[in-house]
């Protein structure tokens, strides 16, 4: 995400191969089944400052899964265009960034 964001914002030179590789890796990470890391009762209501995960992850389920799906869909588009050119990368990164932010806004507590 750091490389992709850097290139999209012009902070790093665009390199098609690097962009394609980073997009593919990010997609692979997002597609991992992480259900085992999201145990009910591991929200910040129980664990305090050890986590920023809000209890709403579980109490409003499957809303969080919808957010995860939105990210995966944005990444399908990103992988298609990341290695094409900078414009394609920039266009697709908007939706990816939004899907990260939308889930954090709903389910990640502010830094304490
Ligand atoms: C489905 C919901 C969801 C999506 C989508 C999501 N995140 Fe998160 N993210 C969380 C939650 C919840 C936490 C807080 C976890 C905790 O503190 O235990 C978090 C934490 C993080 C952290 C802090 C990790 C740490 O060690 O404190 C980073 C960095 C992060 N997310 C990056 C991203 C990026 C980049 C994306 C998009 C590519 C993304 N996230 C998409 C839910 C999501």
User: pLDDT tens, 44-67?
Assistant: 999 999 999 999 999 999 999 999
pLDDT at position 25, please?
A: 97
- Rounded Cα distance between 99 and 108, Å, is 13
CB 55 within 8 A of CB 44: yes
Instruction: State the 10-residue block means of pLDDT for the chain, 112 residues long.
Output: 97 98 97 90 96 96 96 98 98 97 98 82
Residue 77 burial (C-beta neighbours within 10 Å; 0-12, 13-18, 19+): middle
Cβ atoms within 10 Å of 15's Cβ, excluding its own: 14
pLDDT at position 41, please?
A: 94
Cβ of 67 closer than 6 Å to ligand 1, yes or no, is: yes
- Rounded Cα distance between 74 and 36, Å, is 24
CB 38 within 8 A of CB 103: no
pLDDT at position 35, please?
A: 84
pLDDT at position 112, please?
A: 75
Which residue's C-alpha comes closest to atom 9 of ligand 1? 104
pLDDT at position 62, please?
A: 94
Q: Find the 104 Cα to ligand 1 centroid distance in Å.
A: 6
pLDDT at position 34, please?
A: 87
């Amino acid at each position: 995400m750091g490389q992709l964001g850097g290139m999209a914002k012009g902070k790093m030179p665009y390199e098609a191969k690097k962009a394609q590789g980073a997009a593919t890796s990010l997609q692979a990470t997002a597609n991992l089944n992480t259900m085992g890391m999201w145990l009910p009762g591991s929200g910040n209501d129980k664990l305090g400052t050890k986590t920023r995960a809000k209890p709403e992850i579980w109490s409003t389920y499957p809303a969080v899964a919808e957010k995860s799906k939105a990210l995966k869909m944005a990444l399908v588009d990103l992988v298609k265009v990341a290695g094409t050119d900078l414009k394609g990368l920039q266009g697709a990164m908007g939706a990816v960034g939004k899907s990260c932010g939308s889930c954090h806004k709903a389910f990640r507590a502010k830094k304490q």
